[in-house]
Amino acid sequence: DIVMTQTPLSLSVTPGQPASISCKSSQSLLHSDGKTYLYWYLQKPGQSPQLLIYEVSSRFSGVPDRFSGSGSGTDFTLKISRVEAEDVGVYYCMQGIHLPHTFGQGTKLEIK
């Protein structure tokens, strides 16, 4: 199975400041079709997960442009340019290139 490793596991950020989460995969997520199957999900407190970013850097419908994804191969990053109170929760990366689909351990973002 592909192992997804996120760092840090927790993050405390002042509103208006940036935040960054790293996700590393144990194998390349680049498919022969040219796409890289890396996804970011956010689980807000008491809620179900929601899709933020797909295929490394494409923001899902309705996701604010302060969220951005980058990376290639095995190294990926989710960045929030200016954290807002509504961004609290646990962020998960997920790989979709091989079964079983695997998630990172999660990164908990809290507001200072």
What is the binding site for another protein (CB under 8 A)? Answer: 37, 39, 41, 43, 48-51, 54, 60, 90, 92, 94, 96, 99-106
Rounded Cα distance between 63 and 1, Å, is: 30
Least spacing, CB of residue 85 vs another protein, in Å: 22
Q: CB-wise, 16 or 100, nearer to another protein? A: 100
Q: Rounded to an integer, what is the distance from CA 10 to the centroid of its chain?
A: 13
Q: CB-wise, 32 or 48, nearer to another protein? A: 48
Q: What separation in angstroms does the CA of 78 have from each of 1, 35, 49, 69?
A: 23, 18, 16, 5
Q: CB-wise, 4 or 19, nearer to another protein? A: 4
Q: Is residue 9 within 8 Å of residue 108, measured between CB atoms?
A: yes
Least spacing, CB of residue 61 vs another protein, in Å: 8
Least spacing, CB of residue 25 vs another protein, in Å: 15
Q: Is residue 59 within 8 Å of residue 67, measured between CB atoms?
A: yes
